[in-house]
A and B are shown apart, each in its own frame.
Chain A
Amino acid sequence: MKKNEFLNLLKNKLQVLEEDEVKDILEEYENHIEMKIKEGKTEEEAIRDFGNIDDLTKEILKAYKISDRYTESKESNWETKLNEVVNKIVIFFQDFAKKISSKGSEEIIAIVVKVILLLLGIAVLKLPFYLIESIGVHLFQSLPSIFSSTFSMLWKVIVEFSYLIVAIFIIYYFVKHVIIEDKMENALPKSLQKERIESSPKKKRENQVKEEPIERKEARHQRQKELLEKRSHMTNPFRIIIQILVVLFTLPCVFIAAFLILGMGIMIAFAFQGVFLLSAFCILSGLILIAVGFLGLVYHLAFKGVK
């Protein structure tokens, strides 16, 4: 087996792991093979020394505390796939929460404004879809009555679904855009970005810490501490007032959320009786999400924001 072949095979077998980690491992093996070649071995010999690639994969996964059963069942089992997706979502939200807590109030307001604009945009996007839907329904009404009702129903479902998909895509792109922007902001200076291609962010951070002289590090820590102390002194009385205000203002919001959930219940009851209002259902669930998200954000800002 040639080097590239071996590395590709290993890469495929390690798909369960995160990309950075896989790259890390593959780099080590690549280096190893290259060193062996320098010592006079051939590629094939160096790779043969690694033994059976499946055993090797098992060893690597064991190092990550992932049983090999996981990879074996991965392709056939929906449950594991679902778990993976759920894990990714959880990690995404954790990152998002961390990011928000590390940001100033201006940036948070900017994000909130962006989100509101996005929602408005999606709401406006509903109009052309509504137009298409009603045109289609009118067209179908010219057909005999047996066809018209089924076709118009089908048409409605198709249009609503495509709207839903478009909306989801827009939200997805928006979220991605915001996150990518954040990453760019947090990224290191350009001189270090070249290195990024070769090494994972984790490594880079380690490198940086290494290179920084200890005295400077200590000085920086002290400065940070002083800043933090100052900040907490200044904000303490303010924060209590803000917290009280927040509680007063969010109470109506809580009631609204409760009513929304009640409305959702009624919708579901309607659905059981054969009346399925798809758009109202979507709008209600969206509003509930917004309300809950808003409450969560406010709570986070008021009670956990400044650390």
Chain B
Amino acid sequence: MNSQFKKGVLELIVLCSAFDQDRYGYELVEAVSKVVDVNEGTIYPLLKRLTNEHYFETYLVESKEGPPRKYYKITVLGKQRCDILKAQWNDFFQSVNEFLKGC
């Protein structure tokens, strides 16, 4: 699939997959890469950016296996952002599909 397509929706998918529950980095990456086939390494920078833009908050939780895990918690701002992106995606998806029907 076109990598530019993926990049656009990646933010939406990341925000949505942490919408209902807090998730730690690896878990999020796995969840996202199930939906889109994407280089897993590039999701961490995205998480970083979304945290810097206050869409996520992070906290550490001790884990029995290995080092403490960094959990990502979506903020109110993040939820708003997710809704906006979702609406935009739906609009876009609909109009493109409408157009493609006539092709």
Residues of A within 8 A of B (CB): 24-25, 27-32, 34-35, 38, 49-51, 56, 59-60, 62-64, 198-199, 203, 206-207, 210
Contact = CB atoms under 8 A, between A and B. Distances in A.
A29 B44 contact: yes
B42 A28 contact: no
A198 B70 CA distance: 12
By DSSP majority rule, is chain B's interface helix, strand, loop, or mixed? helix
22 contacts: A25-B44, A25-B45, A25-B48, A29-B41, A31-B26, A32-B25, A32-B44, A34-B67, A49-B39, A49-B41, A56-B42, A62-B45, A63-B48, A63-B49, A63-B52, A199-B60, A203-B60, A203-B70, A206-B57, A206-B58, A206-B59, A210-B59
Contacts of A24: 48
Given A31-B67, A60-B45, A63-B49, 20 more contacts: A25-B45, A27-B70, A28-B44, A28-B70, A31-B69, A31-B70, A32-B29, A34-B66, A34-B67, A50-B40, A56-B41, A62-B45, A62-B49, A63-B45, A198-B67, A198-B68, A203-B70, A206-B57, A206-B58, A207-B60
A27 B67 contact: yes
A49 B29 CA distance: 13
B81 to A, nearest CB: 16
Contacts of B42: 56, 59
Interface of B: 25-26, 29, 39-42, 44-49, 52, 57-60, 65-70
Contacts of B26: 31-32, 35
Contacts of B49: 62-64
A25 B48 CA distance: 8
A136 B42 CA distance: 64
Contacts of B52: 63-64
A278 B87 CA distance: 69
Contacts of B68: 198-199
A56 B58 CA distance: 22
Contacts of B44: 25, 28-29, 32, 60
Contacts of A203: 58-60, 70
B48 A50 contact: no
Q: Which of B41, B48, B49, B57 has the most CB of A within 10 A?
A: B41
A38 B59 CA distance: 23
Nearest to A32: B26
Contacts of A62: 45, 49
A50 B45 contact: no
Contacts of A63: 45-46, 48-49, 52
A17 B11 CA distance: 23
A50 B39 contact: yes
A191 B45 CA distance: 32
Contacts of A38: 65
B15 to A, nearest CB: 15
B40 A49 contact: yes
B42 to A, nearest CB: 5
Contacts of B29: 32
